[in-house]
């Protein structure tokens, strides 16, 4: 049964529905097709002990057991029934796979390379994160509110951090740019048939895990307190949000031939940025001069990008939701192969075996 029976999206607006419209709205909405079950109590207790941002617990979704914090359950059907527009552009990734980098590229390509506007508006506003509200537990939010109560402006920002992304996007005028880490199976089933463009970026799991480890330490909505080896165990055993990693990646890979889907590898983007700028521009139907593309490439070069305040979660840092650890910013090292600094020989051997087992039934291969 739909979760929001009294309100619906009418011409892009969230409105109160009368009884006649309510019936039609209920008929239009699809029931969420997957079972959502809580993680086993003892395991849940263990994970909560290592991740201080979530306070209630975790759930697993569907036959693939996609892993989410408790807040996902009340929003699952809204994500599945998110009302698409033909000119929507999605950047869909497993976390820490070049999402932010790709978002800024996409937004600039679609907005006449307006660097001034991009600098003034944080990427989080230009490119709303569809499911972020699920990760803001009410008790964690209460702590953020208390910490910021002396500053009315910051207090207001905290008040709004758990406002659902799908509601924000429903009120957005003009073309919409949407960030998500949800796999295709949990997004609207007509996503690729509605005219929307989806850019899916994949990155090898060892580099993803290292980058995700750092994010989980710095984002207090996650609040990971353990070391990397323990984190890798959670990651490999599909006990981290948005895992199973392999199911997520394979869903993206299997959509790569859809005309409205562009599948790219982070490793290739890192090795030949210009080629991928041109590829994304072509996919989006955008054309720029060689000089304009030179400027965009320079803007996106990592040594410049990591100093771009618009993309570095400065607002989240100002209200204490995001805290740097060892001065590592939200946009961190960006290099291929950084995992080698974190994996012991035993961990590397175990990880390589896990990768080999999961690639056995697919022609997916990560660039060297």
Catalytically active residues, by annotation: 181
Contact in structure between 210 and 339 (CB atoms under 8 Å)? yes
If one counts every other C-beta atom within 10 angstroms of the C-beta of residue 83, the result is 17
Task: Please tell me the distance from the alpha carbon of residue 309 to that of residue 248, in angstroms, as a whole number.
Answer: 30
Task: Please tell me the distance from the alpha carbon of residue 162 to that of residue 97, in angstroms, as a whole number.
Answer: 24
The alpha helices in the chain, defined as continuous H runs, are 19-28, 41-50, 72-80, 99-110, 115-120, 123-126, 138-147, 152-159, 165-170, 205-218, 228-236, 245-253, 266-271, 273-283, 290-300, 302-305, 314-318, 345-359
Residues contacting 313, CB < 8 A, separation 6+: 124, 322, 329, 330
Task: Please tell me the distance from the alpha carbon of residue 77 to that of residue 21, in angstroms, as a whole number.
Answer: 19
User: Which residues are registered as beta bridge partners of 201?
Assistant: 93, 264
User: Which residues are registered as beta bridge partners of 15?
Assistant: 8
């Amino acid at each position: 049964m739909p979760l929001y029976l009294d309100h619906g999206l009418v011409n892009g607006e969230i409105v109160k529905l009368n009884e006649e419209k309510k019936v039609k709205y209920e008929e239009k909405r699809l029931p969420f097709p997957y079972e959502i079950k809580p993680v086993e109590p003892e395991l849940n207790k263990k994970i909560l002990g290592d991740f201080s941002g979530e306070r209630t617990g975790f759930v697993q979704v569907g036959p693939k057991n996609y892993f989410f914090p408790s807040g996902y359950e009340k929003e699952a059907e809204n994500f599945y029934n998110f009302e698409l527009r033909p000119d929507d552009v999605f950047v869909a990734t497993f976390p820490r796979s070049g999402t932010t980098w790709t978002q800024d590229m996409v937004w600039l390509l679609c907005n006449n390379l307006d660097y001034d506007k991009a600098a003034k508006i944080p990427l989080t506003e230009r490119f709303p994160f569809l499911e972020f509200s699920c990760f803001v537990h009410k008790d964690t939010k209460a702590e953020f509110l208390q910490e910021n109560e002396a500053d009315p402006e910051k207090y207001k920002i905290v008040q709004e951090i758990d406002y659902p992304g799908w509601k924000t996007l429903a009120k957005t005028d003009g073309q919409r740019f949407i960030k998500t880490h949800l796999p295709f199976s949990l997004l609207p089933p007509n996503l690729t048939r509605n005219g929307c463009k989806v850019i899916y970026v994949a990155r090898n799991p060892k580099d993803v895990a290292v980058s995700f480890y750092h994010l989980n330490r710095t984002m207090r909505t996650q609040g990971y307190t353990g070391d990397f080896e323990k984190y890798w165990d959670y990651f490999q055993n599909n006990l981290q949000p948005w895992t199973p990693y392999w199911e997520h990646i394979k869903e993206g890979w299997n959509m790569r031939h859809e005309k409205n889907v562009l599948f790219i590898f982070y490793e290739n983007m890192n090795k030949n940025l210009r080629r991928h700028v041109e590829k994304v521009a072509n996919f989006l139907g955008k054309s720029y001069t060689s000089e304009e593309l030179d400027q965009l490439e320079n803007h996106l070069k990592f040594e410049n990008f990591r100093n771009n305040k618009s993309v570095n979660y400065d607002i989240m840092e100002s209200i204490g939701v995001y805290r740097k650890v060892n001065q590592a910013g939200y946009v961190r090292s960006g290099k291929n192969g950084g995992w080698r600094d974190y994996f012991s020989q035993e961990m590397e051997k175990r990880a390589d075996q896990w990768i080999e087992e999961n690639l056995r039934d697919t022609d997916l291969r990560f660039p060297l």
